[in-house]
Every structure is written in structure tokens, then in C-alpha cells.
Amino acid sequence: MKSLILSALLTLSATPVLACETFTLGDLTIEHAWSRATIGADRPGVFYVEITNNGSTDDALIGIATPAAGMPMLHETVVTDGIASMPHAMSIPVPAGQTVELAPGGYHGMLMGLTATLAEGDSFTVTLSFQNAGEVAVNVEVLSLRAEGPDCDDAN
Amino acid sequence: MRRRQLILGLGGASGALAFTLGLGWLQSRGRAQPPAALLPLPIGEMGFALTNHRGEPVRPADWIGRPTMAFFGFTWCPDVCPTTLSDISGWLDELGPDADRLNTVFITVDPERDTQQVLADYLANFDPRITGLTGSLAEVERAVAGFRARFEKVPRDGDYTMDHTAGVFLFRADGRFASIIDYHEDRRFALPKIRRVLT
């Protein structure tokens, strides 16, 4: 994946509502995939998404891959006794019948080793790997550094 | 506010300890005040010399006369800091011109990477009333100690990250500590706390 050329990685999104696109993989629905702009390529980017398991079997997000970053990983922000830390998440449970959010202040994808600065309006692909359902590629929209999430009509 | 899953006090454990230690004192004094030792110092008693993102020297005494809202972080983190800065920008928006009377200060705990220029680039994305502070590690440590906050450099994947106190500290115009807005606290509680130091 990393062999792809830069221009293929960060294509300008055709519409401003890319993050509102919905992807399905078996019983899983994946939506609201977004990221924040970075002030340089030498610092990590972030990846947020919402996963709904409509099936009757538990699943888990076990990894992410993207041509936009050399070392993408799953993290969780934890605040214990007022101290914020960011441990690795080996896997993120996606229980049957539930929606799991990678969202500000909780689980998130940390994109280390960005191939380029993420600018507002860019988009890139992230491939999500699930324990049972397999893999699915989603389009990720880069919002402003100040964004708290995509503005979708269906957002609750 | 679905993401506000946790409401954790600054130092839940240390707070409990403070309460235990303070009981005798409270009973003898008969006034409901926690012991001063574990609260942030009044700004007037803090001592540090840092530089803001515009390159100007900043000392705690400069803040006296206006209420202060201060928090620690580092621009390397992709999740906590943009979220906190975004929340604070939102609060300042809602407070409108009233917020002009606040010293709103972001103190980096990662001065190694957060130079004055990095802070300037980063803060350009948020409310212009937020001032970023950096300086030598020793001066950052003095600032953190004055707030009774904590931070720790944690090696990670050949690099490092910083664990740090995530709450937002509020001080009255005379420099006395007022309250803390916890990281996961609902903004419905945040705005009244800020308004309280503005009055």
C-alpha cells in the first residue's frame, strides 16, 4: 500500500460530506469516518469512525491500515485520577447489536508516520480489519483541527 | 455529548486522601474547606518564567487582575489536545465578549517539541484568545508544580508521548484558585464554572 504515490493518497474530496458516507461489511455498518488536519507531516494524525454491529455475533476491530501513514495503530484515551494517558488498544470490541465509536476523548486511530500533512478537505483510505467480518476500506474525510465530528443529517 | 462517558475528578484518589487528611482540620475549624496543600497555589504565589507563542515573556503575576483559565497539554497528541482546545474555543464563543476578560492559557508539557513556532502554528487553528506557553523544562516543571498538576514522559514506539493532567483550571481575578473543569465533564457544567470566575 505504501508504494502508492502521494497524489493518489490525498485526493481532494469531491463533496464536503464524504464523512457521511456509509460502508457495509456483512452485518457491520461503518460510517462517519473522519480525521483532523495536522500542522505538519511530522506529527500524528487521528482517525475516528462509528461501527454498528447489526448481527447476532460479537466482533472486534483488530487493526487499521492506511496509505496515509506508515504506522497506524489503535489507541484509547484514558483519564485516571485527572491524568490523561493514551494506551494501545489491542482490539476494540464491537458487540452484537451495538454501536461503537472511535471518537474524541476515547478510542481513536493514531496515524504515526504520516506521508503528508493532512489538510482540511483532503481524504484518504483506511482499511479496517475485524476479527470475524474481515476487511473493509472506507474513505476518511479530513476536517479542521478544531472539528468535533462530521455534520451529517443522520448524525444523532 | 455521547463521548463524555466518564466524569473523573482531578485526582479522584488524591481528592479522597485530601478529604481524609483534612477531616480533623475541618472538624477543628468547622469550615468546609479542603486542605490547601493539595490545591493549586494562588497565582500570586506561583513562580515560573515562560514565553508565549508570540515570543513575549510571561510570569504568573501578569495574570493577576483578570480571571484565568489554564490547562496543560502538548500539540503532538492527536486526540486530547485538539479536543480540549476545541471545547475551549467553543466555550469562548459562547461567552462572547465576556471571555475577552479571561487569561486563557495553554501550557505545554512537551517543550522539547512544542517550540514557540509550533505553538503559534497550532493555535492559529483555534480561538485567538488562547495563549500558548512554552519554555525550559525546568520552568514548565515549576508551573506544573504550582498548579499541583502532573506530567510524565512515556517512551512509545521509538518515540514518546506525555501523560498529563487533563483538567482545565479556573482562577479568580485576584489569583485565588476557583475550580477545575474535568476532561470529560459536560459543557453544561463548564460554562457556569467559567461565568463564576468572570463575575
Identify which of A83, A106, A111 has the shortest CB distance to residue B163. Answer: A83
Rounded mean pLDDT, B135-153:
96
Query: What residues in chain A have their Cβ under 8 A from chain B's Cβ atoms?
Result: 36-40, 43-46, 71, 73, 75, 77, 79-86, 101, 103-106, 108, 110-112, 144-148
Q: Percentage of residues in chain A with pLDDT exceeding 90?
A: 76
Q: What pLDDT, in 10s, does the model give residues A34-78?
A: 999 999 888 899 999 999 999 999 999 999 999 999 999 999 999
A144: which chain B residues are within 8 Å (Cβ-Cβ)? 125
A81 closest CB neighbour out of B2, B13, B118: B13
Separation of first and last alpha carbons in chain B: 27
Residue A48 near residue A149, CB atoms below 8 Å: yes
CB-CB neighbors (< 8 A) of B82 in chain A: 36, 46, 104, 145-146
The answer to whether the complex's ipTM is over 0.85 is no
Residues of chain B with C-beta less than 8 angstroms from the C-beta of A106: 3, 5
* Better-predicted residue by pLDDT, A75 or B13: A75
Q: In whole angstroms, give the CA distance from residue A27 to residue A44.
A: 31
B12 to A81: CB separation less than 8 angstroms, yes or no:
yes
Residue bearing the bigger pLDDT, B44 or B31: B44
The DSSP 8-state label assigned to residue B41 in this structure reads P
Interchain CB distance below 8 Å, A44 and B78: yes
How does the average pLDDT of chain B come out, rounded? 84
pLDDT band at B38 (very low <50, low <70, confident <90, very high): confident
Identity (one letter) of the amino acid at A36? R
Secondary structure element (H or E) that encloses residue A61, with its range: strand A59-65
Which of B72, B76, B83, B163 is the best residue to mutate to test the A interface, defined by the most A CB atoms within 10 Å of its own CB?
Answer: B83
Q: What is the pLDDT of residues A95-131, one digit of tens each?
A: 999 999 999 999 999 999 999 999 999 999 999 999 9
Contact B69, B180 (CB under 8 A): no
* Spatial distance between the Cα atoms of A155 and A33, rounded to a whole number of angstroms: 12
- Summary mean pLDDT of chain A: 89
* Alpha-carbon gap, residue B161 to B167, rounded angstroms: 18
Contact B11 A81 (CB under 8 A): yes
Q: Which residues of B make CB contacts under 8 Å with A?
A: 2-6, 8-14, 75-80, 82-83, 85-86, 89-90, 118, 121-122, 125-126, 150, 154, 157, 159, 161, 163-167, 180, 182-184
**What residues pair up with B129 in beta bridges, in sequence order?**
none
Question: Which of A46, A105, A144 is opposite residue B184, by nearest beta carbon?
Answer: A105
Secondary structure letter of residue A41 according to DSSP: T
- Please list, in sequence order, all residues whose beta carbon lies within 8 angstroms of the beta carbon of residue A33, skipping any fewer than 6 positions away: A19, A21, A23, A47, A48, A49, A126, A138, A139, A140, A141
**How many Cβ atoms sit within 10 Å of the Cβ of residue A8?**
10
Residue B129's SS3 state is: coil
Helices within A14-146 (DSSP H only): none
B64-119 pLDDT, tens digit each = 999 999 999 999 888 988 999 999 999 999 999 999 999 999 999 999 999 999 99
